[in-house]
Structure 1
Amino acid sequence: MSATPPPSRPAPAQPRRVPVRYFVLLLDLLRSQGTDVAQLLRMAGVEAERLTQRGATLLPSEIEAFVSSARQLTGRTDLGLEMGRLIKMNSHELLGFGMLSCRNWGEAMQLVARHYHLMTETFSLRYRRIGGGVGEAVYTPLTAMPLETLRFYYEVLAVAHQNQVHLMLGGQEPAYDIYLSMPPPPHAQRYLALGPARFHFDAQALPGVRVLMGADLLDHALAMADANVVREVDERCTALGQRPPAGETGWGDYVRMLLRETPGRLVTLEDLAQRIHVSPRTIDRYLKKEKLQFRSLAERVRFELACELLGEPGATVTQVALQLGFSDSANFSRSFRRVIGITPSEYQQRPRTAATPSA
């Protein structure tokens, strides 16, 4: 089975959107549990009428406001998990019908990866077979977003993947692994009930969700297979429009977000290029259009994080050095002084209200 062609480069000229239908699922659940959904929408600045409009979408800023308002109003940390559990094949309209008609889950993954922008424009999906029959699906953010929103998305995507595998294979799926680039959430124990999928949390991994599935899962025959239906759905999805074109701005914010999400790892330009499926030269070229260089941007982000960590109560220079991937505190202190102008210890002695020195 051939690998799906890599997605187009990130950072679009126009804001990336998400169909409102996925968020309606979560709103309906919260309403049934007693949440004042009208108040939630007012807090998020989203008009209730849009929830009933076919084809309506949400902007990234609206999704951020929605996630923040929902957590504030409910006090819950598991909203991403809950939303992921509600997403089924028919949640995707035409594309979901195509999934149900595929011969096996591997073919369904290929179909979805070709048209993933119809599900969301904020993440890309790459699917490929990587040897030994193992399949790899990687969901990667395509735009900068707050940490709270990013981790909400990770849980939605990871659990939605698990839920749809479970439904498509009739509960007969073998064990497989899902990796989320975030620390274990407060409700991590709930993931144990989603077996045989095994969930792994790693805050130092490159941003995204990675799923590894064996051939026994990917090649499991599906009951409703119909090649003619899959072909028709594929053609109709293609007619709905290609993946949104990428723009020439926003790369600085996007790369900065990816770097901030990997604080304990020295991420290279090649690492990022491989993860988002473009060449290092492409990233470098677009950063230069914004008068940025990857090396200086990475250094700036690293020491912005250092300043934040040093400002936390009880933080020590050694702890921060190890957390940021330095081999020892002396090396960290020399680098910190070169970039910030003072030593880490001197920085910690500054008044808390003082601005972080610019790198």
Structure 2
Amino acid sequence: MTTSAELPFIPARYYARLAELMAARGLDAGAVIAVAKINEGVLADPDGRLTLPQVEALIAEVYRQAPDIPWAFELGRSLKLSSHGMLGYAMLSSPNLDYVLQLLARYFRIIMPTFRLQYRRTSEHEEVVLSATATLSAQNLLFHVETIAVAWHWEILSLLSGEMPAYDLYLSIAAPRHVERYQALKPARWHFGWPIQPGFRILYPKGLVGRELVMADPGALQLAERQCSEQARQTLREGRLVEWVTAMLTYSRDVITTREELADLLNISPRTLDRRLQDEGASFRELSRRIRFQRACDLLEAGQMSMVEIALELGYRDSANFTRAFRREAGITPSRWLAQHAVAALSR
């Protein structure tokens, strides 16, 4: 995990909305902001950013002054897709939920750099996992996990025009005092005390992510993604390159797969990309190899594609080349790996 000194700045727009909620509740928002040493002009600026210590101080002061108000729940409930700037616009313009989740996995760092979002499709469900990438105070962590989870529920529901089947959302936080409010957040089934890691896990039923979205707009999406890429480049100047490259290789799938394309997206040369990755103790070849192998395992487990189709999906010329590459990684052929995996699944 990164330390607070290594973190990029955090977009101020979410805490500007928190200040509005404070004022609506009769609190002196200006005084709270002053305690956190935040300039009100920064909150008013759409591109304003805060440091992690400022965010920590703001949240601590809000709860000190009004500890009985469920601030995280209320903030999450008040956020809309438009709250996320260009990334929200890209989400609105996407063709389906699968594309939305890929976008979020690639660019979540833009809107909340202290967390990482992962998205994975399996044979049984679609899975989203949010995890902290920074050392946060317990109060700060609880606040952001709850805010993001509640906002996520309403925003995905909005994208699907309110038509969503039941799904499961597991939060690492304990059930809050206002847990009864979650009964209205249907059709989500809320589970508290998820023990795996700080963050949350979402399981969507199979097939949901393929549903077409009513506001899909390819032209607008292309423009929005270009802006997201520019914002990502800015965060890379302040953050870690390995994490971003890993996300792009994992979730861009057929869109961006080569070192040259990634370097072009960052407006740097491939050699500079290699050098910066090397500075962080990694290499593009190793990252690509590892991610391709994991993708192969996921496709084999899903059982929806033939060996030839998987080989072509992963960029191999034929199934023989794929089999040789897979055996180098796993020590066994893909068919043998699949058989062993099936036996292990039955024994669990």
Q: TM-score, normalised to structure 1's length?
A: 0.63
- Give the counterpart of 2:63 among 50, 58, 71: 71
CA distance in 1 between counterparts of 2:71 and 2:5 reads 30
Residues 64, 146 of structure 1: 8 Å contact kept: yes
| Structural mapping, 1:239-250, within 5 Å | 239-242=230-233, 244=236, 245-246=239-240
Q: Which residue of 2 aligns with 1:198?
A: 189
Q: Which runs of 5 or more structure 1 residues have no equivalent in the other structure? A: 1-8, 249-284, 286-359
CA distance in 2 between counterparts of 1:145 and 1:13 reads 12
User: What secondary structure does 2:122 align onto?
Assistant: strand
1:49-72 C-alpha deviation (Å, 9 max, x unpaired)? 211123111111111111110011
- Give the counterpart of 2:139 among 133, 148, 156: 148
- Give the counterpart of 1:124 among 116, 129, 133: 116
| Structural mapping, 1:137-286, within 5 Å | 137-202=128-193, 204-242=195-233, 244=236, 245-246=239-240
Is 1:46 aligned with 2:35? no
Q: Which residue of 1 aligns with 2:343?
A: none
CA distance in 2 between counterparts of 1:79 and 1:240 reads 28
- Give the counterpart of 2:25 among 29, 33, 53: 33
User: What secondary structure does 1:80 align onto?
Assistant: helix
Letter of the 1:92 counterpart: H
1:138-159 C-alpha deviation (Å, 9 max, x unpaired)? 1111110110110001101110
User: What secondary structure does 1:137 align onto?
Assistant: strand
1:10, CA displacement in angstroms?
5.2
User: What secondary structure does 2:38 align onto?
Assistant: coil
Letter of the 2:198 counterpart: P
Residues 26, 86 of structure 1: 8 Å contact kept: no
CA distance in 2 between counterparts of 1:22 and 1:112 reads 17
User: What secondary structure does 2:31 align onto?
Assistant: helix
1:17-58 C-alpha deviation (Å, 9 max, x unpaired)? 221101111211221221111121122222222111231111
Q: Which residue of 2 aligns with 1:270?
A: none
1:189, CA displacement in angstroms?
1.2
- Number of aligned residues: 241
Q: Which residue of 1 aligns with 2:53?
A: 61
Higher deviation after alignment, 77-86 or 238-247: 238-247
Among the aligned pairs, what percent are the same residue? Answer: 30
Q: TM-score, normalised to structure 2's length?
A: 0.65
User: What secondary structure does 1:224 align onto?
Assistant: coil
CA distance in 1 between counterparts of 2:103 and 2:211 reads 16
Q: Which runs of 5 or more structure 2 residues have no equivalent in the other structure? A: 243-280, 282-348
